[in-house]
Amino acid sequence: MKFEETSLQHVWLIKPDRFKDERGEFLETFRVELFKDHGLEFEFVQDNISVSKKGTVRGLHYQLPPASQGKLVMVPKGKILDVAVDMRQNSQTFKQHYATILSSENRHMMFIPTGFAHGFSVLSDEATVYYKCNDYYNKKLERGVKWDDPDLNIDWKVEAPILSEKDKNLPLLSEMDEHDLF
Ligand SMILES: Cc1cn([C@H]2C[C@H](O)[C@@H](COP(=O)(O)OP(=O)(O)O[C@H]3O[C@H](C)C(=O)[C@H](O)[C@H]3O)O2)c(=O)[nH]c1=O
């Protein structure tokens, strides 16, 4: 399992070792000791799966402390453009994003730490996204920023995305109170 640094400090692109044979393939997707080797010492406490149609955008979401979530994202089926946005006001990369393709072809995973918003667009007919979270869902502390915020300038690779009503009405960064940021 290789941990590759990205343009955003602490956001990791993780590439599992793949063992292929005539049956198919095997890969380990998580090892506490490898996370610890990369300074990621915490316990994942909740796993999620979302299934989305082609052209869906989910996000950009995050939770505020004390329920801020680090996420290990993988795609057992399909293909997404996965996006992490730095929401830490004092960070040198505040408002910057890192985007990468996660798919059942490349088997890549992304670790998105606390302080970052997460979202993805679906590029295959359907995508199953499985992700581990290091804190529980907390609706009261959930926040989000609009997917097409010009301040973020994210190319989601989809036209006229399918969005939840909640996501359609998320604020622009410029409209957000500093207490809703990190
Ligand atoms: C996130 C979550 C949701 N729910 C319930 C609440 C709603 O009744 C339903 C759908 O929730 P929502 O529309 O917020 O789901 P997504 O738009 O996929 O939200 C996720 O999208 C981005 C990509 C994320 O990284 C977050 O994990 C999360 O915000 O599931 C739960 O019961 N537990 C949960 O942890």
The predicted complex's ipTM stands at: 0.98
CATH number of the domain within which 58 lies: 2.60.120.10
CB-ligand 1 contact for 137 (6 Å cutoff): yes
What pLDDT shows up at residue 67? 97
What pLDDT shows up at residue 151? 97
Q: Which of 51, 39, 67 is nearest to 134 (CA)?
A: 67
Give pLDDT < 50 ranges for the chain: none
Which two tokens mark 146?
Answer: 């609009």
CB-ligand 1 contact for 161 (6 Å cutoff): no
CB-ligand 1 contact for 48 (6 Å cutoff): yes
Residue 173: asked if its preceding bond is cis (omega within 30°), the reply is: no
CB-ligand 1 contact for 118 (6 Å cutoff): yes
What pLDDT shows up at residue 164? 98
For ligand 1, atom 25, the nearest C-alpha belongs to: 118
Boundaries of domain holding 158: 2-180
Which two tokens mark 154?
Answer: 């994210």
CA of 137 to the centre of ligand 1 (A): 8
CB 67 within 8 A of CB 139: no
Distance CA 122, CA 83 (A): 11
Distance CA 45, CA 126 (A): 26
Query: Ligand 1: which of 51, 61, 80 to mutate, most ligand atoms within 8 Å of CB?
Result: 61
What is the total count of domains within the chain?
1
What pLDDT shows up at residue 17? 98
Q: What pTM did the predictor assign?
A: 0.98
Atom of ligand 1 at shortest range from CA of 61: 29
